[in-house]
Amino acid sequence: MRPERHPDPSNTTDVTLRTCDVLVIGGGPAGSTASTLLARNGWNVVMLEKDAHPRFHIGESLLPQNMPILDRLGVHDAVRDCSTLKLGADFPNDNGSYEVFDFRKSFRPQSEHAFQVKRADFDKILWDNAIAAGVDARDRTKVDRVDFADDGTVTVHAGGQRFQPRYLLDASGRDTFLGGKLGLKRKNPHHASAAIFSHYRGVQRREGRDAGNVSIYRHAHGWIWVIPLSDGVTSVGAVCFPDYLKQRKGNQEEFLMQTLMGVHELDERMKDAERVAPVHVTGNYAYESTRMHGRHWTLIGDAYAFVDPMFSSGVFLAMKSAEDCAAMVDRILREPAREASLQRQFQRYFDRGLDEFKWFIYRFTSPTMKHLFANRRDVFGVERAVVSMLSGDVFDAKPILHRLRIFRAIYAITSLSMSGRALAAWRNRRRQLDVEMREETLQGDAP
């Protein structure tokens, strides 16, 4: 049975007040996904986006586990038509060869492909799909303030209007609207990074089946992504330790090219590259919130946490959290007394999957991980489990998680055999984190 929609505010005397069942802050992948699914369930949904679509955004590489979500949203074909086919992930070796993790070699059946997308196109498809589902989607509408009353009433102030939803979803992405306002956001205490990136034309692509793969290169101060997009454009960026990024002198393009050219394997691919977009710099790249929810509200996607995008997990995690959260909110609106327990259950479930990505990301630049990726062995299905992790298959995946625990044991044993290099790498990462934490403390103490 479809739920009754919230009363039409046109019958009220306050013309600036708009009541609804759910209000979503942010019109990116997380916001549009949650809004679409809730509207399809019959709820009255308002989605507010501060910018106008289409607009530039980073986070251009999807995972195979995105594909079922795109199917359920009904946008798979539209996304495919403006994207580059992605069949795996490349991790170059020092000798110029590549370790290719082919999505066909996952532990259990899944989509064997994903897409590389221009986010301006991708986000617009999802936004329009939400409108088609009946969402009251308003762009160029910036949320100014959210008030929480003692009786549980939530009031959102935006665009000269007030909105009173029964439930509020913050999908504001890296703006972290509620996390910032409520003091929930903090730098990731286990990982510090910043990024500098742009779009180029003329970057050499891999051959044959691997032409659309994302390539992940290590460099002395972090790692580099190369993502082939449509129309001959390639997204190239460097994720760095923050103190390295702070050393940049001159213009940003020179610094980015200097960093890229520090990786010999990139020389050939970048020799004819021409920049076709501005150079962007993003600090405070990895962060998390101390909690995900409160009375009548939840944080989803990057508004809750942003992990280093080393394995292209960002858009998938945003849409996964949005889809599962939409199901949770649907149940809460039908059974309000279960709100707190449903919220706790959802956060535990999502955090478990998120932690699988974090474990690999924190160790990716270590000598041990470099050695294991260059010397792959499918012992007990471990290699296929790693492919599944790189595909996003870490939720409801006990057989895969068991084998990832075996990989962790192999990692620990290998680290002992490489103790000198492993310890030096750990100390360097610890120093980077300590510097970031000290600077954050000094900034917080400043008058």
In a domain, 132, yes or no: yes
Phi, psi of 146 (to 5 degrees): -125, 130
Considering the domain architecture, whether residues 415 and 327 belong to the same structural domain is answered as no
Provide the domain count of the chain.
Answer: 3
Between the alpha carbon of residue 10 and those of residues 7, 179, 196, 344, the distances in Å are 9, 32, 48, 36
Least confident of 159-163, 283-287, 360-364: 283-287
Judged by DSSP in three states, 142 sits in: coil
Tokens of 58: 């980073």
Q: Which of 227, 253, 282 is the last residue of a domain?
A: 282
Rounded Cα gap, residues 104 and 304, in angstroms: 31
Considering the domain architecture, whether residues 205 and 272 belong to the same structural domain is answered as yes
Tell whether the model's pLDDT for residue 248 goes beyond 90: no
pLDDT at 439: 52
| Mean pLDDT calculated for residue range 258-281 | 91
Least confident of 43-47, 131-135, 413-417: 413-417
Going by their DSSP bridges, the two strands 287-289 and 233-240 should be labelled as: unpaired
Identify the CATH number of the domain in which residue 310 sits.
Answer: 3.50.50.60
Q: Which of 264, 282, 300 is the last residue of a domain?
A: 282
Considering the domain architecture, whether residues 208 and 181 belong to the same structural domain is answered as no
pLDDT at 14: 55
- Identify which has the larger pLDDT, 265 or 237: 237
Considering the domain architecture, whether residues 244 and 389 belong to the same structural domain is answered as no
Considering the domain architecture, whether residues 205 and 262 belong to the same structural domain is answered as yes
pLDDT at 249: 73
Considering the domain architecture, whether residues 298 and 424 belong to the same structural domain is answered as no
Q: Which of 311, 327, 353 is the last residue of a domain?
A: 353
Considering the domain architecture, whether residues 400 and 271 belong to the same structural domain is answered as no
Longest Cα–Cα distance in the chain:
74
Percentage of the chain beyond pLDDT 70 is 90
In a domain, 382, yes or no: yes
Which domain does 51 fall in, by range? 9-57+119-188+289-353
Considering the domain architecture, whether residues 148 and 168 belong to the same structural domain is answered as yes
In a domain, 3, yes or no: no
Tell whether the model's pLDDT for residue 17 goes beyond 70: yes
pLDDT at 435: 53
In a domain, 49, yes or no: yes
| Mean pLDDT calculated for residue range 264-269 | 88
Percentage of the chain beyond pLDDT 90 is 73
pLDDT at 142: 96
pLDDT at 431: 60
pLDDT at 221: 87
Considering the domain architecture, whether residues 148 and 17 belong to the same structural domain is answered as yes
Considering the domain architecture, whether residues 17 and 126 belong to the same structural domain is answered as yes
pLDDT at 288: 93
In a domain, 111, yes or no: yes
Considering the domain architecture, whether residues 46 and 146 belong to the same structural domain is answered as yes
Tell whether the model's pLDDT for residue 420 goes beyond 70: no
Instruction: For residue 284, name the pLDDT band (cuts at 50, 70, 90).
Output: low
pTM for the structure as a whole = 0.89
> 383-412 burial, b for 16+ CB within 10 Å, e for fewer?
bbbbbbbbbbbbbebeebbebbeebeebbe
pLDDT at 286: 83
pLDDT at 265: 84
**Residue 43 in contact with residue 2, Cβ under 8 Å?**
no
Considering the domain architecture, whether residues 383 and 424 belong to the same structural domain is answered as yes
In a domain, 1, yes or no: no
Tell whether the model's pLDDT for residue 97 goes beyond 70: yes
| Mean pLDDT calculated for residue range 398-423 | 88
Tell whether the model's pLDDT for residue 180 goes beyond 80: yes
What is the per-residue DSSP string for 240-273? E-HHHHTT--S-HHHHHHHHHHTSGGGHHHHTT-
Rounded Cα gap, residues 345 and 2, in angstroms: 25
In a domain, 209, yes or no: yes
In a domain, 75, yes or no: no
pLDDT at 113: 98
Identify the CATH number of the domain in which residue 205 sits.
Answer: 3.30.9.100
| Mean pLDDT calculated for residue range 93-117 | 93
